[in-house]
Amino acid sequence: MNYQEFLESKKKIKETDGIDIELDDLNPVLFDYQKAIVKKALKKKRFALFEACGMGKTLQQLEWAHKVNKETNMPVLILAPLGVTVQTAYEEAPLLGYEVKVLRDDFSIDNGLYITNYEQLDNIDTNLFAGIVLDESSVLKNFTGKTRVQLTNAFKNTKYRLCCTATPAPNDLMELLNHADFLGIMTTAQALATYFINDMKTGSYRLKGHATKDFYKWCCNWSINIESPKDLGYEADYYVLPKLIEQNIMIDIDVIDDDFEHGLFREIGTSATSFHKEKNRTADVRAKKCAEIAMKDNEQYLIWCDTNLEADLLKKYIPEAVEVRGSDKPQRKERCALNFKNGKIRVLISKPKIFGYGMNFQKCHNVIFCGLTYSYENYHQALRRIYRFGQKQDVYSYIVLGTTEMHILETVNKKKELQHNLKNQMDMSVQEIQLLNFEGKEVNEVFQLQKIEIPNFL
């Protein structure tokens, strides 16, 4: 074997037995770039769509599921957050002329396309399905999370798998690895050994310097990661975000210690206990200010809060508002989401963990954050429910905080800046690799699994 043959032997050349389909055979409702992505995902059989909000991931996953169903003559399952199930079945699927059955009380399976929320996974026989779609698949993010392990084990024998979520943060590479694990591309442990090094100083993994390009070549072989159709060489005139007008409203908070337990002035800490204590202390004045904003005109407002106390106060000061919380029955959550979309509810109050992921509320263009947490992702996703491609009006975003909570906003803004900088600093060759791979000009990547040797004394 000469050196060139040795290099060739290190290439991972694996022909898939996926579905090969012509672009003209895909639903004409799809844009050209969406057809190209679906064609790629069907051919690969196990694939991930990392796309910016408003790129039409739902239509793409529905078309993928439809073609898998027709090819295999077996049912296909879509798992999604609770509010998204009805949105997909009753709003998106009819656009393509497809029927999607919602699994809620009756879990008997025949054929066709089915959708349910993640919480119902235990009620489903996953062996009945030829294909699985994970909508908002960022649920796989947690490396040791129970949900990630359960999903990976439940569908490890499912032939066709598709993951759909927003583009992951550039510094959150573990999310990519967990997607690869679920898709059956490579286990997380193997990927860590191949492309990463354990940074003893930070206690976390980081990409090996020499492996960066190979890592992204590998990712491009089983996923697509785009912010706009132009990333794949398509026209993107329609995909222009509207103007975002952000206003941070700071309410003056007295820092004098009422009982002088810690001296004249209260010490504002950053621990979880201090954070929640201060959040409760400022809840009333923040809720009043949010009400003042929402009551100044007759437009629709989406108000995000984080605690039941905040929700109760917001409802107190905005009597006409409708509030949705975790303890509500699924049917009520779905009904309220639909009524807000249809304009029957003027002011909707909820939490990012309930309606912050996957929902499309772009008919509304006013959002109020009654406080923040340290989670930039929750803030970003909640904002993106209305600030997305397809929004026809300028978006107004109000963040209402007490002056004692400034450090929370500063932390979120730092995370926002970090993500922006990392995206800009990403090697342009990564985009070139993806485009070449997508066009079929570079379909194989070179990598070598590292052998993990156990010391003799163990």
My answer on whether 304 and 329 are in the same domain is yes
Q: For residue range 47-68, list pLDDT tens digits in order.
A: 999 998 889 999 999 999 999 9
Residue 28 has pLDDT above 60, yes or no: yes
Please choose, from the candidates 452, 441, 448, the residue with its C-alpha nearest in 3D space to the C-alpha of residue 186: 448
Q: Is residue 291 part of a domain?
A: yes
Question: Coil, strand or helix: which one is 388?
Answer: coil
My answer on whether 34 and 104 are in the same domain is yes
Q: For residue range 282-320, list pLDDT tens digits in order.
A: 999 999 999 999 999 999 999 999 999 999 999 999 999
Q: Is residue 455 part of a domain?
A: no
**Between the CA of residue 366 and those of 102, 300, 343, 355, 361, what are the distances in Å?**
31, 7, 13, 15, 10
My answer on whether 262 and 153 are in the same domain is no
Please choose, from the candidates 78, 77, 75, 79, the residue with its C-alpha nearest in 3D space to the C-alpha of residue 111: 75
Backbone angles phi, psi at 354, to 5 degrees: -100, -55
My answer on whether 111 and 211 are in the same domain is yes
Question: Coil, strand or helix: which one is 398?
Answer: strand
Cα 120 to Cα 105: distance, rounded to the nearest angstrom: 10
Q: Is residue 446 part of a domain?
A: no
Q: What is the pTM of this model?
A: 0.83
Give the residues across from 302 on adjacent strands: 348, 367
Residues 419-442, mean pLDDT to the nearest whole number: 66
My answer on whether 411 and 297 are in the same domain is yes
**Between the CA of residue 274 and those of 280, 282, 338, what are the distances in Å?**
10, 12, 37
pLDDT of residue 256: 64
pLDDT bucket at 175, cuts 50 / 70 / 90: confident
Those residues whose C-beta lies under 8 Å from the C-beta of residue 201, and which sit 6 or more positions away, are none
My answer on whether 158 and 36 are in the same domain is yes
My answer on whether 209 and 275 are in the same domain is no
Q: For residue range 395-412, list pLDDT tens digits in order.
A: 999 999 999 999 999 999
**Between the CA of residue 228 and those of 33, 50, 164, 225, 296, what are the distances in Å?**
10, 11, 15, 9, 36
The amino acid present at 414, given as its one-letter code, is K
- Report the CATH number at residue 310: 3.40.50.300
pLDDT of residue 165: 92
Which range among 356-365, 383-392, 427-436 shows the weakest confidence by mean pLDDT? 427-436
My answer on whether 93 and 9 are in the same domain is yes
Q: Is residue 448 part of a domain?
A: no
Please choose, from the candidates 173, 105, 98, the residue with its C-alpha nearest in 3D space to the C-alpha of residue 133: 98
pLDDT bucket at 209, cuts 50 / 70 / 90: confident
Q: Is residue 30 part of a domain?
A: yes
Q: Is residue 53 part of a domain?
A: yes
Task: Return the structure tokens found at 261.
Answer: 């337990």
pLDDT bucket at 453, cuts 50 / 70 / 90: very low
Which 3-state string (H, E, C) describes 201-254?
CCCEEEECHHHHHHHHHHHHHHEEEECCHHHHCCCCCCCCCCCEEEEEEEECCC
My answer on whether 53 and 178 are in the same domain is yes
Cα 206 to Cα 251: distance, rounded to the nearest angstrom: 40
My answer on whether 283 and 249 are in the same domain is yes
Q: What is the dihedral of CA 257, 258, 262, 268, to 10 degrees?
A: -40
Are the beta carbons of 353 and 326 closer than 8 angstroms? Answer: yes
**What is the total count of domains within the chain?**
2
Q: Is residue 7 part of a domain?
A: yes
My answer on whether 33 and 176 are in the same domain is yes
My answer on whether 268 and 405 are in the same domain is yes
pLDDT of residue 457: 35
- Report the CATH number at residue 24: 3.40.50.10810
Please choose, from the candidates 64, 54, 61, 49, the residue with its C-alpha nearest in 3D space to the C-alpha of residue 176: 49
Domain range spanning residue 154?
3-236+427-438
Residue 258 has pLDDT above 70, yes or no: no
Residues 240-248, mean pLDDT to the nearest whole number: 95
Residues 124-146, mean pLDDT to the nearest whole number: 87
Q: Is residue 449 part of a domain?
A: no
The amino acid present at 394, given as its one-letter code, is D
Q: Which residue has the higher pLDDT, 254 or 348?
A: 348
Are the beta carbons of 340 and 361 closer than 8 angstroms? Answer: yes
